[in-house]
Amino acid sequence: MKIAFIGDIVGRPGRDMVKKHLQNIRDEYNIDFVVANYENASHGFGLTLKNCNELVACGIDVMSGGNHTWDKKDILPLFDTHELLRPHNYPKGVPGTGCKVYEIAGEKLAVLNLMGHYSMPYTDNAFRCAKESVEKLHAEGVKNIFIDFHAEATSEKRGMMMLLQGQVSGIIGTHTHVSSDDFQISKGTAYLSDIGLSGCRDNVIGMDAKVPLKQFLTGMKGHFDIPKKCKSILQIAVMDFDDGVCKKAFKLKYFDDGRVIKTDAWVEED
């Protein structure tokens, strides 16, 4: 099966790039299933019902969350009506789930959403949750497992890779909005520390630079805002899973000026 993953979709610029390119990408690369992170989709903070429906109509099959999952009140009923995830390591009793299994191209695919600890809201241990969830999925006969690990620290993301390589098909990090250059396949597991944002690319992590710069210079905080005009980008990873193993993976960058850059994941030899 071929699955694709889009990291943090930031505001209207990110949604517009998804709307413009995703269906063509699905057709060109014969994508079976698309996962995308929604937590910044509605003006940079959370997800509204309107924007959720807009993204689903673009061809996204399931959406994952993170520390901004709860920023919009619309989100609570959507866990019962839409294919949405929130970090699975939130404590018991929190609405929604962070793990779902789908039938894709005659095989089962599990999508697992986890959140790290450094500079993040309080949650249960992400690594224990990951280990227990993967063991349970294996016991249920699910081999193809994809993880969106929403975390600030690259050390946590790399640690998750060391814990689960050879046991899951793919682990891709989100949250920092800055793409990393370490897309690889190791022991059959695709790994990328951070896929980077889809949205404005000529500012500070998708937000207008004025407030962040003021904060850096003076220590005075303000409300982050999405620019009305900006240069934008869509970043998407494509992975080919077969019987739990990632056979091939690459990343695509679509720029609003028409450029497209493709980067293959390297294979780490045993």
CATH number for the domain that contains residue 211: 3.60.21.10
In the chain, % of residues over pLDDT 90: 96
Reading the block at residue 147, the tokens are 């993880």
pLDDT at 159 (0 to 100): 98
pLDDT tens, residue by residue, 162-187: 999 999 999 999 999 999 999 999 99
End-to-end CA distance of the chain: 24
Closest listed residue to residue 144, CA positions, set 240, 61, 26, 63: 240
**Confidence at 56, pLDDT banded by 50, 70, 90:** very high
Average pLDDT, the chain: 96
Domain extent for 257: 2-268
pLDDT tens, residue by residue, 206-261: 999 999 999 999 999 888 999 989 999 999 999 999 999 999 999 999 999 999 99
Closest listed residue to residue 68, CA positions, set 180, 154, 150: 150
In the chain, % of residues over pLDDT 70: 100
pLDDT at 105 (0 to 100): 80
pLDDT at 167 (0 to 100): 98
Question: What pTM did the predictor assign?
Answer: 0.96
How many domains in the chain? Answer: 1
pLDDT at 228 (0 to 100): 85
Residues involved in catalysis = 68
pLDDT at 223 (0 to 100): 87
Rg (CA), the chain: 17
Q: How far is the C-alpha of 53 from the C-alpha of 218, rounded, in Å?
A: 40
Q: How far is the C-alpha of 148 from the C-alpha of 169, rounded, in Å?
A: 12
pLDDT at 116 (0 to 100): 98
User: What kind and span of H or E run contains 18?
Assistant: helix 11-29
Q: How far is the C-alpha of 25 from the C-alpha of 87, rounded, in Å?
A: 27
pLDDT at 269 (0 to 100): 80
Is the confidence at residue 86, as pLDDT, over 80? yes
Reading the block at residue 163, the tokens are 């814990």
What one-character DSSP code corresponds to residue 83?
-
